[in-house]
Structure 1
Amino acid sequence: MDNRRLAAVLIVLLVIIAPISYVAYSYHSFNGLINPGTPKTSAEYVVVYTPSAQFYTLTAEEYRQLLESGEKLPPGSKLFNVTVDSYITGSPGVDLNLTLRSVYRQFTIVMGDPSVINCKDNPQLYVGDCRYRTLAVSEISGVVASIFAANYYLKGINMGYDNVTAKQYAFNQTQLGYRKTYLNFWTKVDLGRGKIGNEEHLAVLLIGPAEGAKENRIFTPRRGVLVIEGTTDETLRAEVVLIENIISFKWPEGNETKTINITGG
């Protein structure tokens, strides 16, 4: 084989193999993103959902003290034990605030495995509970959109806009920046290579029974990525409520989730 033919073969190999290798590396990096190893620190919480549709959030220690005091939960209450891990600052609460309250150009809600689409027309084909997955997606989308809009409202005010114009500016930027998708192959690649889930593009990822969730935990493996993992879809909903309490999120009047923060934080 002469040098020109050899060079041509090498160029073809580079053109074909290099992109494939990059995609494979990015896909592999996604697995490391959702399994980041030992956290710097963790905090344990208990979320209680009562038959009166009231959420209560407590630290594990506060829940233990509550039981020792002789207090009893309303009959029929549901308990969700959740771990919040920190990989960035060493403080789970700071990680969540830093990740959710930073200013981004875009945000993407990764609603879960492509099978979640069955909740629209064929819920019996979905591995999980469509009702609670829908609630979890809707609630975390609302939380992120509200924070995103508030950041751009303040930016509009700082740019000299009046109140009405700043609100419209915030609304427009939120509509332009919002994206939702499923956890398919290419989404995993985009997360793995950092196209989404970075300091300019927030990615919120829901992992439930359909995605093979193994535990109930909330964590931010890097700036711009929030992972909410729950072994049931109902747990995912409870975890979103816990996030709201940890970051002291307040819904616009009239849209409140019925929650009570008794964590002392």
Structure 2
Amino acid sequence: MSRRALVYLLVLIIVAAPLGYIAYGYTQFSGLLAPKENATVHTYMVLHFPNGTYVAVPEPYYLNITKGGKKVPVGVRVYSVDVFGYLTGFPESDINATMLSKYERFTIIVGSTKVKACSKNPSEFRGDCSLRSAAVSEISALTSTLFKIPYYQEALKKGMDNASARQYAYEQTINRYDVRYLSMMTKVAIGTGRLGNKDHLAVVLIGPAEGGEENRIFTPRRGLLILEASSDDALRAEVVLIETILNFKWPSGEKNKQVASNSTKS
């Protein structure tokens, strides 16, 4: 082989390898979004009241009430959300295992780069900027709060007092937190497993701006939680539903919401 041919071959390898890696990651990401067969699905109804309160209940509970003659009050928006159980076969267990595990880092993917329009020209955003911001703020606060817990417990075991342990957990959380847009390279990072794994939790928000068509929550693999919704209000409602499933309660007066019992049976 001539020197020129060898140089061409090396250039081809140098260029083709990264492109192949990107193509592979992007394809794998698309595969993660595809519904899996024979998955257990539990459906919840999330009600958004005019005063800003959200209530999440299992679908059977909602149907029993409405069939009994009670009507949903005027002005209340109702969202049906499917929660899939891909990992354990139990949707609620998947959510708990994903959100309550200890991770080295966590990243909130707030949506596509189109979300940037909310800070410059909201009218160009396909969706509702205020509701997307609310969804991002809520899931970020929830995730960071849960992320702190293992580090707080770790600090206590090291002999720190309560105040020092809380400060340690706070610092660890701030230093291990990242925010991304759902760009092509972020999709590649998720598809190849660099984001959303046993060490690095990734929470992905997919709304109408990203092509969200269904209201569903699923964990295609350990450390990866995906919220897809057909509207930004439904996306906000899904965050409340996750809190319901986790039986998570914000301190009184800190959040204006109400969540109902998440008990449901297969």
Q: The TM-score by the shorter chain falls in which range?
A: over 0.9
What is the aligned length?
264
1:216 Cα offset (Å): 0.5
Partners of 1:219 and 1:177 in 2: CA distance: 24
- Distance in 1, matches of 2:67 and 2:214, equals 26
1:144 paired with 2:143, answer: yes
Q: How do 1:167-182 and structure 2 match up within 5 A?
A: 167-182=166-181
Report the secondary structure of 1:108's partner residue. strand
Per the alignment, residue 238 of structure 1 pairs with: 237
Contact residue 52 and residue 256 of structure 2 kept, 8 A: no
Q: CA deviation at 1:111?
A: 0.4
Match of 2:182 in 1: 183
Shift of 1:36: 4.5
Aligned to 1:68: 67
Taking the aligned partners of 1:51 and 1:190, their CA distance within structure 2 comes to 39
- Is there any run of 5+ residues in structure 2 with no aligned partner, and where? none
Q: Answer yes or no: is the 8 Å Cα contact 1:93–1:246 preserved in 2.
A: yes
Aligned counterparts, 1:1-265, within 5 A: 1-2=1-2, 4-38=3-37, 40-264=39-263
Contact persistence 1:153–1:169 (CA under 8 A): yes
Residue 205 of structure 1 contacts residue 228 of structure 1 at CA under 8 Å; is this kept in 2?
A: yes
| Percent identity for Structure 1 against Structure 2 | 44
- Contact 2:200-2:223 within 8 A present in 1 as well: yes
Q: What secondary structure, in the 3-state scheme, does the structure 1 residue paired with 2:203 have?
A: strand
Shift of 1:204: 0.5
- What stretches of structure 1 move > 6 A for 4+ residues in a row? none
Counterpart secondary structure, 1:261: coil
> Hey, what's the Cα distance between the residues in 2 that align with 1:16 and 1:53?
52
Cα pair 2:247 2:262 within 8 Å, conserved: no
Structure 1 Cα separation of the partners of residues 263 and 14 of structure 2: 58
Tell me if the contact between 1:39 and 1:87 (Cα under 8 Å) persists in the aligned partners.
no
How much does 1:227 deviate?
0.4
1:52–1:262: structure 2 CA closer, same or farther, 3 Å change rule? Answer: farther
Are the counterparts in 1 of residues 244 and 261 from structure 2 also a CA contact under 8 Å?
no
TM-superposed deviation, 1:230: 0.5
Q: Deviations over 1:140-167 (max 9, x none)?
A: 0000010011221111112221111111
- The separation in 1 between residues aligned to 2:207 and 2:38, in whole angstroms, is 21
Relative distance call for 1:262 and 1:102 in structure 2 (3 A) is: closer
Code of the residue aligned with 1:162 in structure 2: it is D
Alpha-carbon deviations, 1:214-257, whole Å to 9, x = none?
Answer: 11000000001110000000000001001100111122443234
Q: State the shift of 1:6 in Å.
A: 4.4
Quick check: 2:204–2:226 contact (8 Å CA) kept in 1? yes
Amino acid of the structure 1 residue aligned with 2:59: A
**TM-fit CA distance, 1:77:** 1.0
8 A contact 1:132–1:237 mirrored in 2: yes
Q: What is the CA-CA distance between 1:5 and the residue it aligns to?
A: 4.8
Taking the aligned partners of 1:84 and 1:226, their CA distance within structure 2 comes to 11
- What SS class does the counterpart of residue 206 from structure 1 fall into? strand
TM-score (normalizing by structure 2) = 0.94
**SS at the partner of 2:21?**
helix
Matched residue SS, 2:259: strand
Partner SS state of residue 99, structure 1? helix
What does the per-residue CA deviation read over 1:163-193, in whole Å, with 9 as the maximum and x for residues that have no partner? 1111110010010011111111111111111
CA distance in 2, matches of 1:52, 1:252: 19
Q: Secondary structure at the match of 2:126?
A: coil
